Structure 1
Amino acid sequence: MVNKLTIYIDGWCPICKKFKRIVTKLDFFNLIAVEDIRTSEILDEKKIKLMFSKSSDDLSFYGFDSIFEINKRLVILWILLPFTFVLKITKIGSFLYNELSVKRKIIPLNCDAECKLN
Structure 2
Amino acid sequence: MRQLTVYFDGWCPLCQKSKWFLERLDRFDQLTFIDARRVQTFEQPLLLERMHVETTQGVRHAGIHGIRLLTKTLLVLRPVDPFVSLSIRLGIGAVIYDKVAKNRVIPVSCTTDCRIN
Q: TM-score interval w.r.t. the shorter chain?
A: 0.7 to 0.9
Note if 1:64 corresponds to 2:69: no
Instruction: Report the 3-state secondary structure (helix = DSSP H, G, I; strand = E; otherwise coil) of the residue aligned with 1:96.
Output: helix
Question: Counterpart of 1:7?
Answer: 6
> Structure 1: any 5+ residue segments left out of the alignment?
none
Deviation at 1:32, TM superposition (A): 1.3
The C-alpha deviation readout for 1:63-89, integer Å capped at 9, x for no partner, is 111111111111111111111111122
Question: Counterpart of 2:32?
Answer: 33
Deviation at 1:105, TM superposition (A): 2.7
Instruction: Report the 3-state secondary structure (helix = DSSP H, G, I; strand = E; otherwise coil) of the residue aligned with 1:34.
Output: strand
- Counterpart amino acid of residue 39 in structure 2: S
Question: Counterpart of 2:18?
Answer: 19
Instruction: Report the 3-state secondary structure (helix = DSSP H, G, I; strand = E; otherwise coil) of the residue aligned with 2:61.
Output: strand
Instruction: Report the 3-state secondary structure (helix = DSSP H, G, I; strand = E; otherwise coil) of the residue aligned with 2:88.
Output: helix
Note if 1:84 corresponds to 2:92: no
Question: Counterpart of 1:105?
Answer: 105
Q: Please give the TM-score of this superposition, normalised by the length of structure 2.
A: 0.83
Deviation at 1:106, TM superposition (A): 4.5
* Stretches (4+) displaced over 4 A: 111-114
Instruction: Please report the RMSD computed on the Cα atoms of aligned residues, expressed in angstroms.
Output: 2.3
CA contact (8 A) 2:4 2:31 kept: yes
| Structure 1 CA distance for aligned equivalents of residues 27 and 73 of structure 2 | 9
> Structure 2: any 5+ residue segments left out of the alignment?
none
| Structure 2 CA distance for aligned equivalents of residues 105 and 52 of structure 1 | 18
- Counterpart amino acid of residue 49 in structure 1: E
Aligned pair count? 111
The change in CA–CA distance for 1:103 and 1:113 in structure 2 (over 3 A counts) is farther
Question: Counterpart of 1:75?
Answer: 75
